[in-house]
Amino acid sequence: MKKLKLLLFACTAASSVSGQSSLPVYLDNTKPIEQRIEDALSRMTLEEKVAMCHAQSKFSSAGVARLGIPENWMSDGPHGVRPEVLWDEWNQAGWTNDSCIAFPALTCLAATWNPEMAARYGKAIGEEARYRNKNVLLGPGVNIYRTPLNGRNFEYMGEDPFLASQIVVPYVRGVQSNGVAACVKHFALNNQEAYRHEVNVEVSDRALHEIYLPAFKAAVTEGKAWAIMGAYNKYKGQHACHNQYLLVDVLRKMWHFDGVAVSDWGGVHDTREAIYNGLDMEFGSWTNGLTWGESNAYASYFLATPYLKLLKEGKASEKELDAKVRNILRLAFRTTMNANRPFGSFGTPEHALIGRQVAQEGIVLLKNSPATPKKEDFVLPIDFSKAKKIAVIGENAIKVMTVGGGSSSLKAKYEISPLEGIKKYAGNRAEVVFARGYVNDFLSKEGGMKHDGMVINDVVDTRPAEEITAEAVAAAKNADVVIFIGGLNKYDGQDCEGGDRKGLELPYGQDKVIAALAKANKNLAVVIISGNAVAMPWVNDAPAVVQAWYNGSEAGNALAAILTGEANPSGKLPFSFPVELKNNGAHALGQYPGDSAPAGYLNEKYSEDIFVGYRWLDKQKIKPLFPFGHGLSYTNFEYKNLKITDNGETVSVNFDLTNTGKREGSEASQVYVALPEMKIAMPVKQLKGFAKTRLSAGETRTVEIAIPKSQLSYWDESKNNFVTPTGTFEFLAGASSADLRLKGKLKF
């Protein structure tokens, strides 16, 4: 009914000027947007302007009905379009036509190392949002993977700012090609969920600009993102949702962002800071903006009645208000009031196929060693001429993964479990048996996995752990191949918004189960489903290890395609796997998750500075469990003939890549650069280019990677800008951050 009213208002506004020679400028799509903005702004009352600056429901904000300017409707992403919820509650509205295609989590997208897949992903999810008449998709997330305990890492794009930058730009462009704004989040320094509303981040300007901001900058300056969302945490003692340095100095002045800055839900804490420090729209629910208090209290928000009162009393000027409304109107003219906006599509087989392709390209083969002394005796891919009985073991083989995890929880049209996928691919070639192996005690306590009070995945098992493990071992002894499918899940304390993990180890006694399975059957493949690195004390006993992710609707089909060899794995890790937690810089230096500060709030000092992920491991000369950029294939690739050319504005890195194996495969080749020695501390090397190349068996192709010289820079705190040094640069090309096959130098 509300949408119908808006259409009627729009028609009324248009018909009211039918006697004139033309429409009002703001309704005329042929006029420049900036001219339309000023015309619409001049017609609005003070009350209408203020109303546009804050939520009117859980996921919407007001338009101007009498002028035919539509409301703004937002939806959580970034892995699918969230189901409709009640006006003022998180509970689902009970619609029967809002079941989406669940796409793989962004860790998987980053693991494809393929910007083309990011473009397809963005376009598809944008089509789903457009069909549901959303004009803002709350995603993607590009916060840096600083600690493997961060409960929200699965929503982000890894530990390296260059990789995240290259993946986020096509995602944003793809979403916005549908007339839907991509709202890049969470700006900035939201690198932990522990104390996320209170923690104040202390970080050097250099680390901020070299590590934590580049992906946001790329989304804004290259992707031309139309929206950005502030973070919950503080920086320089101010909350990020109304932070002078982040939202004004950096976002508006340095990057010339002309989109809309929205708060995270309940992330606003002060009216005056919200007025003057760059925020445009305040969202949340209930009185405190988050979880409790008076229902439908949107008029009490910081940018609602309190703001209007200051304006009417002359204690605030309309200058700042008009700037906010201009940004909001610009959003409307780019989305809901764009006459050329496509109609989108929803829940389609085409979207499911894109999700599956992303999942297959993102799954990472971490280890694949012969199970016996015979060099050709690999567990993976499964050889159905030998494997007539397959034992699939582990709760994650049957557990729903599209639900849970916080705001990215979805109501998926369907979800293929790993067990279903393996059975489908095995067909009549092999018998597939299942054993539980371990039990998530949360399920037993809750009576099954629930959503809105309904059990959607009744996998409760109340048997003693010893009995469940014994059953799994017995199944393993009688099988030709054993596939353990475990890892983390999307409950509190694991991969979930609002809290961090307690440690690096696998939960629910999985390490003991895997060790027992390795003793029972040498043909063991371990599949870890997670959005974070985990410890693997059993890694030497498992011939094959696969890193899967939360891969959405087509998760089981994608995993089975990799395990059976229908698809050749080509994913590479977007973050390092440390052997133990102390190998991570944030934990080695002891500040995480924060210390009490003199001002009374929690203070988290990023003492590792720019040395995040592989940069820290390189500096400390620590060998990781699996390095950044690592990922194996069922074929092999050879690198030869490195050539480095100075082309003025860019450096061209060329080499010959040969598929030396017997089957087609894709390789994500990586180029790292070591900057000249300087007085300030520098990483041993940094990722500055990559390319994914598909090669037939025996094929050789010359790979060319162009690196802009602007990428060969560092943040000079004395100049408050990036500076490119002169001297001798070393270029290293290879298969991962720890497997660099070619080296060359260039001086300029």
| 598 burial type by CB count under 10 A (0-12 exposed, 13-18 middle, 19+ buried) | exposed
Q: Is the peptide bond before 104 cis (omega within 30 degrees of 0)?
A: no
Query: Residue 459: what pLDDT?
Result: 76
Helix (H) or strand (E) holding 674: strand 665-674
258 belongs to the catalytic site:
no
Architecture of domain 2-90+98-334: Alpha-Beta Barrel (3.20)
Query: Residue 289: what pLDDT?
Result: 60
What is the 3-state secondary structure of 219-272? HHHCCCCCEEEECCCEECCEEHHHCHHHHHHHHHHHCCCCCEEECCCCCCCCHH
pLDDT band at 22 (very low <50, low <70, confident <90, very high): confident
Query: Residue 519: what pLDDT?
Result: 98
Q: Using CA atoms in the order 9, 10, 16, 19, what is the torsion angle rounded to 10 degrees? A: -160
User: For residue 112, is pLDDT > 70?
Assistant: yes
Residue that has been written with the tokens 């691919």 in this structure: 425
Answer whether 2-90+98-334 and 363-567 agree in fold.
no
Q: What is the pLDDT of residues 291-341, one digit of tens each?
A: 666 778 899 999 999 999 999 999 999 999 999 999 999 999 999 999 999
The full set of domain ranges for the chain reads: 2-90+98-334, 363-567, 632-747
Min mean pLDDT across 241-250, 280-289, 564-573, 728-737 is at 280-289
Query: Residue 598: what pLDDT?
Result: 65
User: For residue 563, is pLDDT > 80?
Assistant: yes
Q: SS3 of 357, please?
A: helix
**Ramachandran angles phi, psi of 434, nearest 5°:** -125, 140
Q: Which amino acid is at 688?
A: K
CA angle at 496 for the pair 490 and 499, rounded to the nearest 5°: 140
Average of per-residue pLDDT values in the chain: 93
Query: Residue 447: what pLDDT?
Result: 39
CB of 696 within 8 A of CB of 601?
no
Query: Residue 361: what pLDDT?
Result: 98
Query: Residue 586: what pLDDT?
Result: 96
Please give the share of the chain, as a percent, with pLDDT higher than 70: 93
Residue 704, token pair as written in the block? 């060319």
Query: Residue 595: what pLDDT?
Result: 86
Please give the share of the chain, as a percent, with pLDDT higher than 90: 88
User: For residue 41, is pLDDT > 80?
Assistant: yes
Q: What is the pLDDT of residues 517-548, one digit of tens each?
A: 999 999 999 999 999 999 999 999 999 999 99
How close are the terminal C-alpha atoms of the chain, in Å? 65
Catalytic pick among 76, 98, 160, 264: 264
**Whole-angstrom Cα distance, residue 433 to residue 435?**
7
Architecture of domain 632-747: Sandwich (2.60)
Query: Residue 314: what pLDDT?
Result: 97
Q: What is the pLDDT of residues 504-520, one digit of tens each?
A: 999 999 999 999 999 99
More confident site: 620 or 9: 620
User: For residue 279, is pLDDT > 70?
Assistant: yes
Give the number of other Cβ atoms within 10 Å of residue 498's Cβ: 15
**CA-based torsion, 230, 503, 147, 171: positive or negative:** negative
The stretch 53-82 carries a mean pLDDT of: 96
pLDDT band at 740 (very low <50, low <70, confident <90, very high): very high
Query: Residue 9: what pLDDT?
Result: 40
Give the number of other Cβ atoms within 10 Å of residue 507's Cβ: 21
| 482 burial type by CB count under 10 A (0-12 exposed, 13-18 middle, 19+ buried) | buried
- Has domain 363-567 been given CATH number 3.40.50.970? no
**Ramachandran angles phi, psi of 404, nearest 5°:** 100, 175
User: For residue 426, is pLDDT > 50?
Assistant: yes
Among 309, 308, 307, 284, residue whose Cα is nearest residue 296: 284
16-25, 151-160, 448-457: which is most confident: 151-160
Residue 375 Ramachandran class (φ > 0 left, ψ -120 to 50 alpha, else beta) = alpha
Q: What is the pLDDT of residues 567-624, one digit of tens each?
A: 999 999 999 999 999 999 999 998 899 987 666 669 999 999 999 999 999 999 999 9
User: For residue 21, is pLDDT > 50?
Assistant: no
